Amino acid sequence: MGKMKKYCYGFCLLISIAINILLSINLYVGGENNQRSLLSWSEKAAAEAEEVAAISCSGHGRAYVDGLVFEGQPVCECYDCYGGSDCSELSPGCAADAESGDPVFLEPFWMQHAADSAVVISGWHRMSYRYADYTTMSKELENYICKLHSLVGNAITEGRYIVFGIGSTQLLNAAVYALSSENSSSPSNVLASIPFYPMYKEQTMFFNSESFQFEGDTNSWQSNNWTNNMDVIEFVTSPNNPDGELKKSVLGGKTIYDHAYFWPHFTPITGPSDHDLMIFTLSKLTGHAGTRFGWAIIKDKDVYEKVASYISVADLGISKDTQLRVLKLLKVAVEGDGKPLFEFSYNKMRDRWDRLSTVFSKSTRFSIQQRHPLHCNFFNETRLPSPAYAWVKCELEEEDDCGAVLEAGKIIGRSGSRFSAKDRYTRLSLIKSQDDFELLLQRLNELVALENGSIDTM
Amino acid sequence: MGKMKKYCYGFCLLISIAINILLSINLYVGGENNQRSLLSWSEKAAAEAEEVAAISCSGHGRAYVDGLVFEGQPVCECYDCYGGSDCSELSPGCAADAESGDPVFLEPFWMQHAADSAVVISGWHRMSYRYADYTTMSKELENYICKLHSLVGNAITEGRYIVFGIGSTQLLNAAVYALSSENSSSPSNVLASIPFYPMYKEQTMFFNSESFQFEGDTNSWQSNNWTNNMDVIEFVTSPNNPDGELKKSVLGGKTIYDHAYFWPHFTPITGPSDHDLMIFTLSKLTGHAGTRFGWAIIKDKDVYEKVASYISVADLGISKDTQLRVLKLLKVAVEGDGKPLFEFSYNKMRDRWDRLSTVFSKSTRFSIQQRHPLHCNFFNETRLPSPAYAWVKCELEEEDDCGAVLEAGKIIGRSGSRFSAKDRYTRLSLIKSQDDFELLLQRLNELVALENGSIDTM
């Protein structure tokens, strides 16, 4: 009996010691594998971010660390048409808002790449106005921008100058300034081809400079032969906003190529753009419109210096925290030679266009722009473009205010006159969230069904 | 003997089991306390940030996650006058650069508050142009700005409008635009009092608007009685850059109060400012110049709307990641009713002024501005101001280019003419890093010693 007891003690002791060893190993190695033992000052912020990200908003909203707070806790911010504390309640008669070019369609991609795209900014990160090389632009970020263009094959960057701006928005006006006449008595004439992005006109008129003035449409200008000896600056938007067309310069003088949409998700990339002044934006590339970041690629040194001066005088450059975040995002964008990002984004856009085309094919009352297949060097395949916007035309003669017609069908678009075109046209955004797109499709289907219903009864 | 063995087994088993329990508790509770078990997608970025922060640069440099990379590893970026792979080598004859207003003197505060000031930004954070309330400004951030002003007692925010800008820089021009004449045939006249911050003139001239023009000094304008029926916009910088004076409007018309330096570290806060249009910047408050963020406090709704339009047309608002970071920083700033931040910053500035005053008290060749004690409501005590800059005057008649005199003594300042003043004056920055300040003091001591040496030999 005593011997048995002794064995038992010995056996139990052995097991207990074994457990001790296992637990110790777990504490040590488990910690190492997950980098647990390394973290100190960043843990609080990391835990806070993950806690907020884990709040469930039924897939129809999102809670943010800088968001609305109720009783000390962040609460769900619901997407359009959804409500309730967890955003689960759909408002029944809600209109589909397809007005803005908010590129939220890429949000799921970044949720799938959460670990690689998160960024931690320390409290003392880059407090100075300048980087170590005395510039206000991150050289690392510039390298990644060049790398991405080279992978995608959509722009030549070798031997070119790059300037960052607060979105492409700021660069549009900086470019006009840089290309404009230095002689106030004969200001430069700024033009674009109808239909065009309203910001060109708004900015040029708003800043009311003595050096340039907005002169409207290139085509009417050209037909009047006004270009002789006149100083013109032409905006060329390619692909075009609103209609997705790959545009070329009409006047052949000084040009600003707005390439916001020149990425494989929206258009086949037929070759690298190589113009004197090209402008790109993060917004329509990765979907981060809230991160105000764009860049210009410039051939001429003098023009480059003027654009850089503009940015410096306007606001002493781009926030260092924004530049750090953009760097992180572009590092993910170039992973796998860009295939994961652009396959995700292209598939999303193609799917939306397939479904949209099906609806419009049933309608004679409404039409959308024609799309023509082109060879995409990036995907090495001939593909249809899948533009960011549908450019809808109301075909019935009496329906010359297409925006009002759609609005009666609970669809909010942006009227043609905003693009200096006729109101017979309306732009519908296809790059918003999946919820927004689904509701848009539902409302379009309802509208087209009504049309076919009335045809049937005729 | 057998009994002893049995006791021993029993005792060892008890201890072993106790260790088991302790290890288990450690694994479970230890993990919880440090939030280890909660982290997933943010760990990689957090580990990366901490790893880079841990790189030693001898206190004379810093490595950054977006910084220079050598063989895949981030390397030290050395401060001025330091070199070598770990920034330990001081370049012997190096000049003290006191030119820029880079507010790095607050960096140690943020390193001391690392856990509270770090921020984690997820890849999908705020991709939209707008917040849930359809604005481009974070309401939470606006609340913290108001809270801080109320704690410090330096500005009235109740019943006022607030607009964010890309640094105060952008808001300066936005304010001129908002206050300017809408009649192009008689543009508004923009003025400031010498010595003044050069950006007022540079911006107004650079943007070359039909609505306003730069007209120079308020005093010469006033003495010529030019204000009658003239449309004027006056910049009032209080405390003034470069000389730290608490200025008031000279012309009494439309004014833009630039309050960049109106914080307890630079000046006693005698009461809340309550002007029509006041501009503040994060740069000189928390030291984050690299984070381009400022705000305007505006009484009149019409002016507010014009400033907001300017920001929107210029670049569609401020990056959401910047706003998130600023929110984090201001949350730390208001901790302990602002005492930790402002005691740190005031002590730093007072210490620098004490040492600087000692040097200049030994000189007849150089003088600095007079300082007068005032009651500071925030610290509830009468104190001397401790301005961001020393405004140095070369007293010898023949030394009318003070910048050149200092440069010969290996001190780089910003010449008086940059502030539309005489070159007999030079501005020296006192808000750069401790290394920069120590070197500045050393060079000043050398220069004054030379002067006293030559007096001794006379």
pLDDT, tens digit (0-9, with 9 covering 90-100), for A370-407: 999 999 999 999 999 999 999 999 999 999 999 999 99
User: Residue B38 — pLDDT band, cuts 50, 70, 90?
Assistant: low
Yes or no, beta carbons of B46 and A69 under 8 Å apart = no
Q: Is the pLDDT score of B223 beyond 90?
A: no
Yes or no, beta carbons of A49 and B43 under 8 Å apart = no
Is B253 part of any domain? Answer: yes
User: B170 near A311, Cβ under 8 Å?
Assistant: no
**CA-to-CA distance for B130 and B162, rounded, in angstroms?**
17
Is A115 part of any domain? Answer: no
Match 């920083």 to its residue by tokens: B329
CATH number assigned to the domain comprising residue B364: 3.90.1150.10
Please tell me the predicted confidence (pLDDT) of residue B69.
83
Is A128 part of any domain? Answer: no
Yes or no, beta carbons of A170 and B315 under 8 Å apart = yes
Same domain as A293, residue A415:
no
Same domain as A270, residue A160:
yes
Mean pLDDT of all residues belonging to chain A: 91
Smallest Cβ–Cβ distance between B315 and the set A10, A106, A166 belongs to A166
User: B295 near B145, Cβ under 8 Å?
Assistant: yes
Same domain as A265, residue A154:
yes
Residue of B114, B193, B423, B169 lying closest to B296 (CA atoms): B169
**From the candidates B1, B81, B119, B282, which should be mutated to test the interface with A, based on the most A CB atoms within 10 A?**
B119
Yes or no, beta carbons of B316 and A50 under 8 Å apart = no
Minimal C-alpha gap between A158 and chain B (Å): 21
Count CB atoms within 10 A of the CB of residue A192. 28
Same domain as A414, residue A367:
yes
Please tell me the predicted confidence (pLDDT) of residue B319.
97
If you write DSSP's letter for every residue of A209-251 in order, what string do you get? BSSEEEEEEHHHHHHTTTTTT--EEEEEESS-TTT------SS
**How many structural domains compose chain A?**
4
Yes or no, beta carbons of B122 and A124 under 8 Å apart = no
Please tell me the predicted confidence (pLDDT) of residue B72.
83
Closest chain A residue to the Cα of B283, Cα to Cα: A127
User: Residue A454 — pLDDT band, cuts 50, 70, 90?
Assistant: low
Closest chain A residue to the Cα of B117, Cα to Cα: A123
Q: Is the pLDDT score of B10 beyond 80?
A: no
Domain's final residue, options B310, B336, B362: B336
Closest chain A residue to the Cα of B293, Cα to Cα: A319
Yes or no, beta carbons of A329 and B51 under 8 Å apart = no
**From the candidates B13, B127, B434, which should be mutated to test the interface with A, based on the most A CB atoms within 10 A?**
B127
User: Residue A33 — pLDDT band, cuts 50, 70, 90?
Assistant: very low
Token pair of A58, please? 């039924």
Please tell me the predicted confidence (pLDDT) of residue A35.
41
Same domain as B382, residue B240:
no
Q: What average pLDDT does range B81-105 have in this prediction? A: 95
Is B224 part of any domain? Answer: yes
Please tell me the predicted confidence (pLDDT) of residue A321.
96
Same domain as A191, residue A236:
yes
Minimal C-alpha gap between A370 and chain B (Å): 29
Give the pLDDT confidence of A148-162 residue by residue, as tens digits. 999 999 999 999 999
Yes or no, beta carbons of B325 and A121 under 8 Å apart = yes
Pick the range with the lowest mean pLDDT from A23-27, A288-292, B75-79, B371-375. Answer: A23-27
Residue bearing the bigger pLDDT, B215 or A458: B215
Yes or no, beta carbons of A64 and B130 under 8 Å apart = no
Is B64 part of any domain? Answer: yes
Give the pLDDT confidence of A66-107 residue by residue, as tens digits. 988 888 888 999 999 999 999 999 999 999 999 999 999 999
Please tell me the predicted confidence (pLDDT) of residue A34.
44
Residue bearing the bigger pLDDT, A185 or A88: A88
Q: Is the pLDDT score of B186 beyond 50?
A: yes
Q: Is the pLDDT score of B243 beyond 80?
A: yes
Same domain as B177, residue B310:
yes
Please tell me the predicted confidence (pLDDT) of residue A457.
39
Residues of B in contact with A34 (CB under 8 A): 36, 39, 43
Is A300 part of any domain? Answer: yes
Residue of B331, B294, B325 lying closest to A126 (CA atoms): B325
Q: Is the pLDDT score of A415 beyond 50?
A: yes
Cis peptide before B239 (omega within 30 of 0): yes
**CA-to-CA distance for B101 and B99, rounded, in angstroms?**
7
Q: Is the pLDDT score of B334 beyond 70?
A: yes
Is A122 part of any domain? Answer: no
Q: Give the residue numbers spanning the domain of B20.
A: 2-31
CATH number assigned to the domain comprising residue B252: 3.40.640.10
**From the candidates B321, B327, B429, which should be mutated to test the interface with A, based on the most A CB atoms within 10 A?**
B321
Q: What average pLDDT does range B373-379 have in this prediction? A: 98
**From the candidates A120, A182, A327, A345, which should be mutated to test the interface with B, based on the most B CB atoms within 10 A?**
A120
Same domain as A320, residue A353:
no
Same domain as A317, residue A171:
yes
Give the pLDDT confidence of B291-327 residue by residue, as tens digits. 999 999 999 999 999 999 999 999 999 999 999 999 9
Question: Pairing relation of β-strands A188-192 and A232-237?
Answer: parallel
Mean pLDDT of all residues belonging to chain B: 91
Q: What is the ipTM of this complex?
A: 0.90
Q: Give me the count of residues in chain B.
A: 458
Give the pLDDT confidence of A337-375 residue by residue, as tens digits. 999 999 999 999 999 999 999 999 999 999 999 999 999
**CA-to-CA distance for A435 and B453, rounded, in angstroms?**
80
Residues of B in contact with A82 (CB under 8 A): none
Q: What average pLDDT does range A223-244 have in this prediction? A: 87
**CA-to-CA distance for A140 and A323, rounded, in angstroms?**
10
User: A292 near B130, Cβ under 8 Å?
Assistant: no
Q: Is the pLDDT score of B331 beyond 70?
A: yes
Please tell me the predicted confidence (pLDDT) of residue B220.
87
| % of residues, chain A, pLDDT over 90 | 83
CATH number assigned to the domain comprising residue A87: 2.10.25.30
Q: What average pLDDT does range B246-270 have in this prediction? A: 96
Question: Pairing relation of β-strands B254-258 and B277-281?
Answer: parallel
Same domain as B227, residue B190:
yes
Closest chain B residue to the Cα of A141, Cα to Cα: B66
Match 């330091």 to its residue by tokens: B82
Is B320 part of any domain? Answer: yes
Same domain as B368, residue B323:
no
Residues of A in contact with B51 (CB under 8 A): 38
Please tell me the predicted confidence (pLDDT) of residue A184.
64
Match 């900086």 to its residue by tokens: A174
Yes or no, beta carbons of A319 and B291 under 8 Å apart = yes
Pick the range with the lowest mean pLDDT from B328-332, B436-440, B454-458. Answer: B454-458
Q: Within 13 Å of residue B280, how many CA atoms lie on the same side as its CB?
A: 23
Same domain as A49, residue A32:
no
Give the pLDDT confidence of B361-371 residue by residue, as tens digits. 999 999 999 99
